[in-house]
Amino acid sequence: MEQELMMWSKYLNCERSVLIAPAGHGKTTAIAECLNLCPEDTCHLVLTHTHAGIASLKKKFKERNIAPSKYQLETIDGFAQRYVIAFLGMSVLPSYQDKEYFSVAVKKCTEILQFSTVQKIIELSFNGVFVDEYQDCTISQHNMIMALAQNMPLHILGDPLQGIFDFEKEGVIDFERDLPELFFKRFNMLNIPWRWAKTNPCLGDIILTWRDKLQTKVNSMELTNYPDKHLYVEIAPEHDNDFDTYYIKWRNSIINKYETANTLILCPSYIGRDEYGNEVRKGDINDRLKFKLRFDFKHQYVLLDALDGKTYYDKSKKVDDYIALCKKSLRADKLYHFRDLLESLYVNKEFINTWIKKEKRKPAHFLKKRKLEEQTQSNKLQDLYDSYITAPSINSLFLVLGCVINMQGYKSQRADFMNDILRCMFLAIEYQISVTEAMCRQRSQIRHIGRKIGGKCIGTTLLTKGLEFDTVILKLFKLI
């Protein structure tokens, strides 16, 4: 124990330290151990890339009873955004929907970190900086971190073999080139795969074997089935007739066979071809939604999306646009676009067609005739919609959508997404802002505090890195 403390003290007391270790070897725990060694009156800035990473770090800190006053935990992009807005205002940044938003924020933050006044604030706020998952830093993020920590200790953790980001315009950092040993001291003291030590140590050993092969840059690697070690490799049997349909049925049976209450299904991201032969990126949110619809008939799985995914902002703006349209359009147009709004919010089309008329003309009642036992629900929704049409507002539409999700037979392809929209509408009402602005605020808050992910999920490596599940199902076959 004493030797371990000396080891972490040595790492912590180094002005520029780099800790390299494989996945599952305790890099996140190492940050917690270091914070435990820091004096009570100190505060360190802890940066990572993903909100899943924030959730993982928070869990480790809580397990070790580390006082929140000893750290400030943020994503790199979230930190950059916060400082830019604080010192330069929001006008210097593009809109949230712009794909270059955070790239601009990082570069602007690097500029203001050159000011002596900002450096003084940094020095008074923090005693040092930890950066987790450093292998995923872009060159711009690396430059920002160097500017941030120019007058205080910097502790870097990462693994070059765990890079998961793919940047087209600028590459990620290279440990040898960008973290030269002349200026950064290397530490390699994590040698045990702790993540599997108690539950399945053999699995940890197998993964290390794979890692060794990857380091030697082998051209191919055979995945072996180890049922006794809870590692299963399933290969779809060949089938002559209608393989796509057969494969989908086979794949669904595999999911049903292995899923548990805490399951992650990882979908691959890859470059494919569209119907015209053009290269397109596959495995995005739409591809994962199609995949979900082909097996998750009980709607048990949550479809994970990037926190700053364009979908969130597009759909919240669609709500604002519908309210604006209803303030000046005919009732028939309002009804037509209401159906469109529900579909865009991933409400099941079958449910919409069951309850709501399709006519574009001006119907006295927009709901279809229902059975006697459902008439109370129908009348309530009709009254709420009539009130909304009379005085369109976020408040009245919030009541309409709230009624919709409680209707008999309500189904949604993404129930979590509708809940997010309703939360943002509630915030918009409370603070007298647009739904789009409320969504921006909510995303910024989650960016700072992290988000909890668990249960049955469908995601990508990027969206779930740093989290732990009881069961992980990795799809190596392309999305069909």
Least confident range of 44-53, 163-172, 243-252: 163-172
Higher pLDDT, 169 or 273: 273
Predicted pLDDT at 129: 97
Residue 13, helix vs strand vs coil: coil
Q: Give the full edge-to-edge strand order of the sheet including 471-474.
A: 302-303, 456-459, 263-266, 471-474
Outline where DSSP puts E strands in 302-398: 302-303
Mean pLDDT, rounded, for 452-457: 80
Taking 80 as the threshold, does the pLDDT of residue 281 lie above it? no
Taking 80 as the threshold, does the pLDDT of residue 336 lie above it? no
Q: Is 17 left (phi over 0), alpha (psi -120 to 50) or beta?
A: beta
% of the chain at pLDDT higher than 70 = 88
Give the contacts of 72 (CB within 8 A, at least 6 positions apart): 43, 44, 45, 46, 125, 126
Residue 187 phi, psi dihedral angles, 5° rounding: -130, 135
Taking 50 as the threshold, does the pLDDT of residue 57 lie above it? yes
Taking 80 as the threshold, does the pLDDT of residue 274 lie above it? no
Predicted pLDDT at 80: 96
Tokens in use for 366? 């927009």
Taking 60 as the threshold, does the pLDDT of residue 361 lie above it? no
State how far the Cα of 320 lies from the Cα of 334, in Å rounded to an integer: 13
Taking 90 as the threshold, does the pLDDT of residue 376 lie above it? no
Q: Maximum distance among all alpha carbons in the chain? A: 80
Predicted pLDDT at 146: 97
Mean pLDDT, rounded, for 459-468: 73
Predicted pLDDT at 237: 78
Predicted pLDDT at 164: 63
Taking 50 as the threshold, does the pLDDT of residue 369 lie above it? yes
Predicted pLDDT at 242: 63
Predicted pLDDT at 122: 95
**Confidence category of residue 479, pLDDT binned at 50, 70, 90:** very low
Work out the number of other CB atoms within 10 angstroms of the CB of residue 8.
16
To the nearest 10°, report the CA torsion of 73, 74, 76, 80: -120
pLDDT tens, position by position, 89-119: 989 999 877 878 889 999 999 999 999 999 9
Taking 50 as the threshold, does the pLDDT of residue 408 lie above it? yes
Residue 476 and residue 268 in contact, taking contact as beta carbons nearer than 8 Å: yes
Residue found by looking up tokens 């292995």 in the block: 258
DSSP structure class, residue 238: P
Predicted pLDDT at 65: 93
pLDDT tens, position by position, 145-168: 999 999 999 999 998 887 766 555
Give the contacts of 324 (CB within 8 A, at least 6 positions apart): none
Taking 90 as the threshold, does the pLDDT of residue 121 lie above it? yes
Give the contacts of 351 (CB within 8 A, at least 6 positions apart): 407, 409, 410, 411
Give the contacts of 41 (CB within 8 A, at least 6 positions apart): none
**Confidence category of residue 379, pLDDT binned at 50, 70, 90:** confident
Higher pLDDT, 418 or 310: 418
Taking 70 as the threshold, does the pLDDT of residue 78 lie above it? yes
Residue 22 and residue 208 in contact, taking contact as beta carbons nearer than 8 Å: yes
Predicted pLDDT at 476: 67
Residue 58 phi, psi dihedral angles, 5° rounding: -60, -40
Residue 278 phi, psi dihedral angles, 5° rounding: -80, 150
State how far the Cα of 285 lies from the Cα of 73, in Å rounded to an integer: 28
**Confidence category of residue 339, pLDDT binned at 50, 70, 90:** confident
State how far the Cα of 407 lies from the Cα of 87, in Å rounded to an integer: 47
**Confidence category of residue 132, pLDDT binned at 50, 70, 90:** very high
**Confidence category of residue 480, pLDDT binned at 50, 70, 90:** very low
Predicted pLDDT at 414: 83
**Confidence category of residue 366, pLDDT binned at 50, 70, 90:** low
**Confidence category of residue 62, pLDDT binned at 50, 70, 90:** very high
Work out the number of other CB atoms within 10 angstroms of the CB of residue 325.
15
State how far the Cα of 96 lies from the Cα of 312, in Å rounded to an integer: 10
DSSP structure class, residue 167: -
Taking 90 as the threshold, does the pLDDT of residue 51 lie above it? no
Q: Is 448 left (phi over 0), alpha (psi -120 to 50) or beta?
A: alpha
Predicted pLDDT at 451: 62
Q: Mean pLDDT of all residues in the chain? A: 84
Taking 80 as the threshold, does the pLDDT of residue 144 lie above it? yes
pLDDT tens, position by position, 216-239: 777 777 788 888 888 898 888 776
